[in-house]
Amino acid sequence: MDAGAATGHNFGLREEIKSYWSARAATFDQSPGHEIFSEEERQAWHRLIIRHLGQGEGRRALDLACGTGVVSHLMDDLGYDVTGLDWAEPMLERARAKAKARGRTIAFRIADAENTMEPDGSYDVVVTRHLVWTLVDPKQAFAEWLRVLKPGGTLLIVDGDFVNAGIAERFLKVVVRWIEGMRLAKPGPMHAPEGMAELHGRILSQVHFSDGARAEQVAALMEDAGFANITVDTNMKAIHRAQSKHLGYLKGLSRGLQHRYAIVARKPLQAGTMTAQRR
C-alpha cells in the first residue's frame, strides 16, 4: 500500500484505517480467527450467537464492519435477514463473492459504522466482531447503533484487548518466536502481511482504545449511550479450542489467554424503562 499517502495533510486517521483494511483484504481470510476453518469452530460460533441472540427466524440483522462477511454468513446460517456494512470495498468484494459461491442472499454495502445512513429503528439485532478496538469515536458509534436498533433490539459485540498481554502470553510469544527462529517448527499462519506492522502500530496508537479495549470500559460507554441489560461473556473457550487446531499448539494456547469477550446489550423499549445491569 502507499504508506506515503498516509502522511499527507488531507489523509486523516479514518482514511488511514480504511486503506489499511483495504490492503489487508487479499490475505484476511487466511488467518484462523478471521475465516472459519472447521465445522467445530462454525458450531461454536453458532452456539455463542444463539446463546445471546437466539435463532434468526427472519429477523433483521446488521453486521457492522462485516469485512469479508464471516459473521454475516454465521447469522445467515441461523435464519437472520442480514445486511453487512463495511467501509473497505476490497473486503466487501470478498464478502459478496462468498455469498455468491454459497448461494446466499446477503446485502453487503459500503458505509461507515459510526454513521451508517440506515433508517431509525430498522434492525432487530446489530452484531459486530473486531471493530470496537479500532473505532475512532466509540461514543458516536454506540449512539448510532442504538438509533438503528428497534426498541427492545439487541446489540452483540465480539472483541478483545489486543494491546495488553499478560506475563504468560508474553512468555509464550517469546517461546514461539524462538522456536520459529531456530526453525524447530514451521511458522504458523501469517496474521498480517509483513511490512504492515508499522502502519498497524501507528493506527493503534491513535484510536480511542489505544490502551486496549477492556470489556468493562466498552460496557461503560455502552451504558452511557443508553444501552441496558449489559452482560459481558468471556466464555470463548470452545471457539478458541477449535481455532487452536489451525494455529499451532502454542499460538492456540496464547489466544486462550487473551482478554477476548462478547458483550450483549439491549435498546430499552422506551427511554428510561429498563435498568442497566452491568455484571
Q: How far is the CB of 238 from ligand SAM (least distance, A)?
A: 17
Q: Kindly state whether residue 130 participates in binding ligand SAM, applying the rule CB under 6 A.
A: yes
Burial class (CB in 10 A: 0-12, 13-18, 19+), 29: middle
262 binds ligand SAM (CB under 6 A): no
The one segment of 53-61, 99-107, 110-118, 260-268 that binds ligand SAM by CB under 6 A: 110-118
Contact call for residue 71 and ligand SAM (CB under 6 A): yes
Please check whether residue 25 is in contact with residue 94, taking contact to mean a CB–CB distance below 8 angstroms. Answer: yes
What are the helix (H) ranges across the chain? 13-28, 39-53, 70-77, 89-102, 138-148, 167-181, 197-204, 215-225, 237-247, 249-257
Q: Using the rule CB under 6 A, is 83 a contact of ligand SAM?
A: no
Q: Which of 91, 155, 199, 236 binds ligand SAM (CB under 6 A)?
A: 91
Q: In sequence order, which residues have a C-beta less than 8 Å from that of residue 28 and are 6 or more positions away? A: 34, 35, 67, 68, 91, 94
Q: Which stretch binds ligand SAM (CB under 6 A): 129-137, 185-193, 201-209, 265-273?
A: 129-137
- The region of 59-67, 165-173, 209-217, 231-239 touching ligand SAM under the rule CB under 6 A is 59-67
C-alpha cell at 260: 477476548
Binding of residue 157 to ligand SAM (CB under 6 A): no
Q: Which residue is nearest to ligand SAM (CB)?
A: 67
H or E, element range at 259: strand 259-266
Grid cell digits, residue 3 = 504508506
> Is residue 70 within the footprint of ligand SAM (CB under 6 A)?
yes
Choice between 112 and 118, CB closer to ligand SAM: 112
CA distances from 256 to 33, 166, 229, 259 (A): 12, 12, 27, 8
We find the least distance from the C-beta atom of residue 133 to ligand SAM, in angstroms, to be 8
Considering only residues 52, 94, 98, 129, which one is a binding residue for ligand SAM as defined by CB under 6 A? Answer: 129
Give the residue, chosen from 74, 99, 131, 218, that forms a contact with ligand SAM under the rule CB under 6 A: 131
17 lies in the site for ligand SAM, by CB under 6 A? yes
Dihedral of CA atoms 63, 64, 69, 70 in degrees, nearest 10, equals -70
106 counts as binding ligand SAM under rule CB under 6 A: no
- State yes or no: residue 124 binds ligand SAM (CB under 6 A): no
Q: Is 66 in the site for ligand SAM (CB under 6 A)?
A: yes
- 3-class DSSP state for residue 209? coil
Burial class (CB in 10 A: 0-12, 13-18, 19+), 77: middle
Give the list of residues 6+ apart from residue 100 with CB closer than 8 angstroms, or none: none
DSSP 119: P
Interacting residue with ligand SAM among 52, 59, 74, 112 (CB under 6 A): 112
Tell me whether residue 134 or residue 254 sits nearer to ligand SAM (CB atom). Answer: 134
User: Does the footprint of ligand SAM cover residue 95 (CB under 6 A)?
Assistant: no
Taking every pair of Cα atoms in the chain, the longest distance, rounded to a whole number of angstroms, is: 61
Return residues touching ligand SAM (CB under 6 A).
17, 21, 34, 65-67, 70-71, 86-88, 91, 112-114, 129-131, 134
